[in-house]
A and B are shown apart, each in its own frame.
Chain A
Amino acid sequence: MMALPARLLKSYGPLIAIGLIAYVLLGWAPGSLSAFRLGNLGKYCALALASMGIGLAWGRGGMLVMGQGVFFGLGGYAMAMHMKLEAAGPGNVPDFMQLYGDGTMPSWWEPFRNGPFTIVAIIVLPALVAYVLGYAILKRRVKGAYLAILTQALAVAFATLLIATIKQTGGFNGLNTFTTFFGHNLYDPEVKKNVYRIAAGFVVVFLLILWQLYRSRFGELLVATRDAEERIRFLGYDPANIKLVAFVVAAVMASVGGAIFVPIAGIIGPTNVDAAASILLIAGVALGGRSSLFGPVLGAIAVGYGRSALSEKFPTRWTYFQGALFIVVVLLLPGGVASVGSRLKSVGPKLKSLLPSKAAIADVEHAQAEEALA
């Protein structure tokens, strides 16, 4: 039995850490970082939103989702379509359609003129797609490497489709050159700051959501499903349903990340949503610690920061650093950076156990004495 304060701390301690992150992202950063750095941090926050979903699906649910770029892209493109139409003005057609096409707009673009519709679509669209996909995949008990390959293939297919439909989606160039974000001028530094605040705010909100999910009965059930799926079946649950919930929530988180990425980055294209982008997300999650609450966020921000810091110094060699980092983490810290604390804690007793304790020596002597008698 733990003492009451210790248990309270274990239960509510993460809230303190979330508060600290909220202070750094929302209180400190906007006043202290240059507009350029703040914009970068905003991008990492957007990626972190997708990473948190991966933490839920992979870290807690055991589903290695290698195609989260698809959902990131669904949200991103929905937002980008709205902003593109906003930039074009009422009744007008986005510029690239005149450039590559005959100047007519596909009818499915039309609803995205409407702001509220776009926001609803950013949530509902990925949820629907993830539900249908997840239902088909999980009910057939596809898991492990097969699930990873399948989701990865989806990301490849999605990017290929985008590239092939230049007249409808902007093709390889993607959607870019936005001017306003729900009526606010994106060139205004204060608006930029506020867009950043939205991204950072979502990080805090998602952390709170995950904190509640992880401590809830559902969280326990998800971990139990990850560890012993068949056993869960014989406790009266359909494991597919449990994993489906995690899969859908992860998809929506990625979609929100994609949506907020667009006004900050000013562009979304196939390279933001393809297999490589999806794997980069996974790398951040693995680095940070997939099953911890904070690991995915810190990992995503660290990978994003490392990427820009190192690529400023060594423009051509960033990928080597990234690869090396990934190898080091996989080899030495399978639980990610978030597990360093508990790793250190477990090293202490191990060192001690290398030296035989008095009790152990006594045991051995006792056994030897018994042997001698027998």
Chain B
Amino acid sequence: MSEASGTDRASASEPGGDGVPGAQPPSVNGVSEASGTDRASGTEDVLDVRKLTVDFDGFKAVNGVDLTFLQGRLHFLIGPNGAGKTTLVDALTGLVRGSGEAVFRDRDLLTMKSHKIVRHGIGRTFQTATVFERLSVLQNLDIAAGVHRRTITSIFARGKVPERVEEALETIGLTSLAHRQAGILAHGQKQWLEVGMLLVQDAKVMFLDETVAGMSAAEREETGDLLKRIVADRTIVVIEHDMEFMRRYADFVTVMHSGAVLAEGTVAEIQADEHVQQVYLGTVTEVAARA
């Protein structure tokens, strides 16, 4: 997919120029971004979801959702179990059929096949980390880099490590483990490897499904910092249950409930929202109290 296929729709040169506080790009010291082409040309990617509905034999798991995902912000998608968060992502990545419209770079994702959507710049992870356990970290990343290669070249063995892969290894901090089998990585490292694979793909929109679930506090912090580092020239959508993690890192939050959007805004706005307190945060405190 060509880098310049995005339209000049956003005038703001800074991400988060929509007046949302906290949406400023995180200051990054010493980390150069892999590709700043979109920013340099002044274009900003927008994934526009309109009236998205996913109907499972009459049960509407996602019901007429309107959402806009902007480049450069960590967009958290929260909501109780069964709210339709994962189904929404499934629909946007071609895993389930949805009606409505989801336009990214002039194409409607809902009409495309999964692997074409990926090649259009949308990447995702799954709730359970799925890396290729028997391949090395390097091989995992190299396979992800395949979207940039011509098919015929795959009959050759890998010569030297592609630059993208090396950059990604650096960014996710697994350089020293490049030749380790992915199956024996720690849980947190597997999740980072998945993020690394999305980086190598050069995914412009990343959907991360409960990436920090099961991570230690230190690992969560590292993950949050990692996401902050890489979000500037892409959109990152995080599905999460961990409220503390959300409070710390979210630039923007969408709360879903029963397949619909309940509220949207910054962390402060969401926390102040009565509906959210009733429907969602209430249940969370109950759960917390029970635990």
Query: Residues of A with Cβ closer than 8 Å to B?
Result: 1-2, 11, 212-213, 215-218, 220-221, 223-224, 227-228, 230-238
Contacts and interface: CB of A to CB of B under 8 A. Distances in A.
Given A234-B114, A234-B115, 7 more contacts: A217-B149, A230-B130, A234-B93, A237-B115, A237-B147, A238-B113, A238-B115
Contacts of B149: 217
A335 to B, nearest CB: 12
Given A213-B155, A235-B197, A227 B118 contact: no
Contacts of B155: 212-213, 216-218
Interface in B137-186: 139, 142-144, 146-147, 149, 153-158, 179
Interface residues of B, number: 31
Contacts of A213: 155
A221 B146 contact: yes
B46 to A, nearest CB: 21
Interface of A: prevailing SS: helix
A109 B278 CA distance: 80
A217 B157 contact: yes
Nearest to A235: B144
B189 interface: no
A206 B126 CA distance: 39
B134 A216 contact: no
Interface of B: 93, 113-115, 118-119, 123-124, 126, 130-135, 139, 142-144, 146-147, 149, 153-158, 179, 197, 201
A224 B93 CA distance: 20
Contacts of B113: 238
B252 to A, nearest CB: 24
Given A223-B132, A234-B124, A236-B201, A217 B142 contact: yes
Contact of A224 (B118, B124, B135, B147): B135
Contacts of A1: 179
A221 B147 contact: no
A352 B119 CA distance: 49
A2 B179 contact: yes
27 contacts: A2-B179, A11-B157, A212-B157, A216-B154, A216-B155, A217-B153, A217-B155, A217-B156, A217-B157, A218-B154, A221-B154, A224-B143, A227-B134, A230-B130, A231-B126, A231-B131, A234-B93, A234-B124, A235-B118, A235-B146, A235-B197, A235-B201, A236-B115, A236-B119, A236-B147, A237-B115, A237-B147
A11 B158 CA distance: 11
User: Considering residues A11, A212, A234, which has the most beta carbons from chain B within 10 angstroms of its beta carbon?
Assistant: A234
A230 B130 CA distance: 9
Contacts of B142: 217, 220
A231 B115 contact: no
Given A216-B156, A217-B154, A236-B146, A223 B135 contact: yes
Contacts of B135: 220, 223-224
A224 B143 CA distance: 9
Contacts of B124: 234
Nearest to B120: A236
Q: Which 3 A-B pairs have the closest CB atoms?
A: A236-B118, A236-B147, A217-B154
A249 to B, nearest CB: 11
A236 B118 CA distance: 5
B146 A217 contact: yes
Contact of B118 (A212, A218, A220, A234): A234
Contacts of A234: 93, 114-115, 118, 123-124
Contacts of B153: 217
